[in-house]
Structure 1
Amino acid sequence: MTSTVPASLTRTAEGSALQAVLLDMDGTLVDTEGFWWDAEVDVFKDLGYVLDEAWREVVVGGPMTRSAGFLIEATGATVTLAELTVLLNDKFEERIGRGVPMMPGAARLLAELSAHGMPTALVSASHRRIIDRVVDSLGPEHFALTVAGDEVPRTKPHPDPYLIAARGLGAAPSGCAVIEDTATGVAAAEAAGCRVVAVPSVAPIAPAQGRVIVRSLEEVDLVFLRGLMTRGN
């Protein structure tokens, strides 16, 4: 999904440019990280296995191949990775069909970015079929493009998805503000050279040089993101 990207850049008083905003989906914009765990629990229950709650932090935020592969190995299930991927996507899609709750502050932030013509991309490790369903709920008009986990050579924690999104918006990675909720996503964004705002959801995110951590998107607006460009310069 693409649309015209405004050519002008929004500049701070110090002269640095916020060129684009790149947003994670699950746990950042929509309160669905728990949906994925519920889907995993239900699928493995159907297969005759019980998942250990401690595994929840292991599988959060990563690509499905990593999460599914870990659960197959941990449980000893005989299901293949390809079969499990289909089962998990089916179960998750069934769940979001009953509604997609937004994270606090997400609707306001998306509306503000749109109102100011800020180029915005959705960058997720979820598969295209899931992203399209969620974007229909969020409003496709808010995103100039979307990047799905099954459409990139390497997904998070590799930098590829964010590099692809920045390039697609005609922005330098250093001019992009990324908002993420997991350590995996933060690692991907930082490896890409983006400025990162972490909004932890299921698991905590450790402080680090140049990393900004907030409690919720209610603390984030366009002024905040513009200021991020000069932080630490």
Structure 2
Amino acid sequence: MADDATAGLPAALLWDMDGTLVDTEPYWIETEFALADRYGGTWSRAQALDLVGNDLLTSGRYIREHMGIDLTPERIVEELLDGVVARVEQAVPWVPGARELVLEARAAGIACALVTMSYERFVAPILAHLPPETFRVIVTGDKVELGKPHPEPYLTAAAALGVAPGDCVAIEDSNTGAKSAEAAGCTVLVVENHVPVLPGPRRVLRPTLEGLSPGDLGALLLR
């Protein structure tokens, strides 16, 4: 049972990373165009946006087919990671309000998990800019069998925290991620970034994270 300090708050916040916590989608897109230039492929911004929220190997297969380069999906993923890690080590582009909200949630005693399809070696340099154990659980794309839009990533995070998905608010910026969290049973706070996100039965759309408090997130829970 919740104590007075946590009554009305979500049991946990389950955070997507790319486009939600940090606006790294431009880093991925720049790296994809650099990959096309390096190997003589063709690429477009529309194709890049098709990949937002996807499991990385799914993106690697898509790039191999549509960019027309003779690399394995696994190699494509590693080269993409090389590029975005180098960029994020230079600067972490926080989404407005995101860093403040995750730190307020931590101070309020709300458990936070990071649920991202990026790989661990990309997550590490971003987490280095937050206090230790800001996220009690970290679920990355290289640690799950089925990535977003499958519910496994969010189910894994909730189980690791020992909470019911229905008592959690997931924070997402893509249809792929929202489908994953919704299928897991979470309330999904959607803040669009680079791609439009459709309405859904467990989705609450907001224009920004700025100004939101942990108490505001508790009021969003859909029972």
User: TM-score scaled to structure 2, two decimals?
Assistant: 0.94
1:147 partnered with 2:139:
yes
Given the alignment of the two structures, is residue 220 of structure 1 paired with residue 216 of structure 2, yes or no?
no
Aligned to 1:203: 195
Q: Distance in 1 between matches of 2:202 and 2:91?
A: 36
1:32-47 mapped onto 2 (5 Å cutoff):
32-47=24-39
1:181: how far off? 0.6
**Which of 81, 89, 92 is equivalent to 2:81?**
89
* Matched-pair contact (CA < 8 Å) for 1:43–1:91: no
- How many Å separate the matches in 2 of 1:83 and 1:76? 14
Question: Does 1:73 pair with 2:65?
Answer: yes
2:92 maps to which residue?
100
Long gaps (5+) in structure 1:
1-6
Distance 2:165 2:26 in 1: 30
Assess if the C-alpha contact under 8 Å between 1:163 and 1:192 holds in 2: yes
Match of 1:49 among 31, 41, 50: 41
Tell me how far apart the structure 2 counterparts of residues 22 and 182 of structure 1 sit (CA, whole Å).
Answer: 14
Percent of residue pairs identical: 38
Q: Is the 8 A contact 2:141 2:147 kept in 1?
A: yes
Query: 1:159 and 2:155 equivalent?
Result: no
| TM-score, normalisation: structure 1 | 0.90
Root mean square deviation of aligned Cα: 1.6
**What CA distance in whole angstroms lies between the structure 1 residues aligned with 2:216 and 2:81?**
35
Give the equivalent residue in structure 2 for 1:190: 182
Number of paired residues? 221
Match of 2:112 in 1: 120
Deviations 1:107-154 (A, max 9, x none): 210121111111111110000111112111233331111111111111
SS of residue paired to 1:78 = coil
Which residue identity is paired with 1:214?
A: R
Instruction: Provide Cα deviations, 1:160-189, integer angstroms capped at 9, x if missing partner.
Output: 111010011110010111000111100000
For the residue of structure 1 that corresponds to 2:76, the secondary structure is: helix
